[in-house]
Amino acid sequence: MISRSVFAASKKLHQSIFRKPTLHLLPSSFSSFSSTPHQDSHNLYKLNHKDWLSPNEVLKIFSNLKEPTSIISVLNQYSQRKDYKPNEALFTLVINHLAQAKSFDAIEHIMQRIKVERSCRLSDEFFYNVVKIYGNQAGRIKKAIDTLFDMPNGYKCWPSVKTFNFVLNLLVANKLFDEIHEIYLSANRLGIEIDECCLNILVKGLCENGNLEAAFYVLDEFPKQNCRPNVRTFSTLMHGLCEKGKLEEAFGLLERMEREGIDADTITFNILISGLRKQGKVEEGMKLLERMKVKGCYPNAGSYQEVLYGLLDKERFMEAKEILGRMICAHMSPSFVSYKKLIHGLCSEKLVEDVDLVLKQMVQQGFVPRMGMWRAIVRCVLSGNNANICLDEIVDS
């Protein structure tokens, strides 16, 4: 039982600490974090006493904080204790709390604190999380790169290929193509052994930058790095070739895949079908759609959608209607644009009954016709002078 005098002294000490916390290695700009919210105070009872705290007890104190912004003052308070011995789990929790509060400047100071204190060993998984926060949540890509390079010397931890590849992919996603080559060349001094994923990221970045020649140079690098290109490698190159209208070369890669025993997947075929459609080669696209099935690669909605768009572009509306019906039978939902183009096309050819059928399918798929479509349908029905089709019936369906 705690006496009233002891409890009062404890309460007084607690209030004193929270009025004037010690900010260890943190600038005065974080003084807004100096007072812990009232709802967190009951979680800090043990931290205000001299009883030795186990790592799990410390983690529990921090994980129970209700306000993420209070974590700085609590960490400073903990650092003044004689049993201060932070570990990776604690720093991960602290950084994740700060990321939740979007206090990214505070995260940078925590990382500096870790570097100076050297109070515990940290794994690559910890740095992967930090780099991910910098890159995805904070938008501080340079800081993500700096952290990667600082790992071996600043933090005594060698990055894994997973962390290395994340930074590479981050640069590609943000179209920072000039930095990609520099990062790649740093693999050896970072202790990274290049893998297929790394080379695929390079291929993707070069293709998106329009540098196909360099992308094919990377393809030649695969065997030199004891790696083997996979279906994603070839699909990315095919997409780059199709974007430049080099269909013959793209199909040449498909043949190379088959020779090397690499099975094309749905994405591969969809890229080629899309390339054919852009060049108006609808027949070839339909044949490739059937070839997919022979290869044991079943078409998805994207496969049919590209063929459907190709037929609509060529104003082959009855064939487009058939493909649309096949999609619905296969439980695939055609796009609203497909319905719009098809209905307008059927209306232009005065095919009232077909308009009726497609419109009903459209409504059943959850799409709502717009005013322009209704005008086209009304004109089609009236011009057809067909007594068997009533616009009210179509609307009610």
Task: Give me the pLDDT at residue 136, please.
Answer: 95
Residue 210 pLDDT exceeds 60: yes
- Torsion sign across C-alpha atoms 373, 376, 378, 384: negative
Task: Give me the pLDDT at residue 113, please.
Answer: 92
Residue 87 one-letter amino acid: N
Residue 5 pLDDT exceeds 60: no
Distances 250 to 39, 66, 256, 376 between C-alpha atoms, Å:
63, 56, 10, 40
181 vs 202: CA distance, rounded Å: 8
Helix axes 317-329, 301-313, angle to 10 degrees: 170
Task: Give me the pLDDT at residue 45, please.
Answer: 66
206 and 238 Cβ atoms separated by less than 8 Å: no
pLDDT band at 380 (very low <50, low <70, confident <90, very high): confident
Tens of pLDDT along 291-328? Answer: 998 888 889 999 999 999 999 999 999 999 999 999 99
Average confidence (pLDDT) over 344-364? 92
338 vs 309: CA distance, rounded Å: 7
Residue 395 pLDDT exceeds 50: no
Residue 9: helix, strand or coil by DSSP? helix
Q: Is 199 left (phi over 0), alpha (psi -120 to 50) or beta?
A: alpha
Task: Give me the pLDDT at residue 21, please.
Answer: 37
Looking at residue 245, the DSSP 8-state letter turns out to be: T
- The enclosing H or E element of 289 equals helix 282-294
Q: How far is CA 68 from the centre of its chain?
A: 25
**φ, ψ of residue 300 in degrees (nearest 5):** -110, -170
Q: How far is CA 127 from the centre of its chain?
A: 19
Task: Give me the pLDDT at residue 119, please.
Answer: 85
326 vs 118: CA distance, rounded Å: 64
Average confidence (pLDDT) over 384-391? 49
Task: Give me the pLDDT at residue 110, please.
Answer: 94
37 vs 46: CA distance, rounded Å: 17
Looking at residue 211, the DSSP 8-state letter turns out to be: -
State the DSSP string of 98-117: HHHTT-HHHHHHHHHHHHHH
Closest listed residue to residue 206, CA positions, set 188, 233, 186: 233
Pick from 158-162, 197-201, 390-394: least confident: 390-394
- Torsion sign across C-alpha atoms 241, 242, 246, 250: positive
248 vs 132: CA distance, rounded Å: 40
Task: Give me the pLDDT at residue 82, please.
Answer: 85
Task: Give me the pLDDT at residue 42, please.
Answer: 54
Task: Give me the pLDDT at residue 87, please.
Answer: 93
357 and 328 Cβ atoms separated by less than 8 Å: no
Closest listed residue to residue 167, CA positions, set 197, 207, 211, 188: 197
Average confidence (pLDDT) over 241-252? 95
Copy the structure tokens of residue 135: 């890159």
Residue 37 pLDDT exceeds 80: no
pLDDT band at 289 (very low <50, low <70, confident <90, very high): very high
339 vs 321: CA distance, rounded Å: 9
303 and 290 Cβ atoms separated by less than 8 Å: no
Task: Give me the pLDDT at residue 58, please.
Answer: 85
Residue 384 one-letter amino acid: G
Copy the structure tokens of residue 111: 């990382």
Task: Give me the pLDDT at residue 1, please.
Answer: 40
Distances 171 to 168, 174, 199 between C-alpha atoms, Å:
5, 5, 14
Average confidence (pLDDT) over 79-93? 90
Residue 396 pLDDT exceeds 50: no
Helices and strands (DSSP H and E) totals, the chain: 21, 0
7-16, 72-81, 199-208, 373-382 — which one is most confidently predicted on average? 199-208
Average confidence (pLDDT) over 141-151? 96
77 vs 68: CA distance, rounded Å: 15
Tens of pLDDT along 43-84? Answer: 566 677 777 888 888 888 888 887 777 888 888 888 888 888
51 vs 49: CA distance, rounded Å: 6
236 and 199 Cβ atoms separated by less than 8 Å: no
Residue 234 pLDDT exceeds 60: yes
Residue 203 pLDDT exceeds 90: yes
Average confidence (pLDDT) over 250-271? 95
Task: Give me the pLDDT at residue 41, please.
Answer: 56
Average confidence (pLDDT) over 382-394? 53
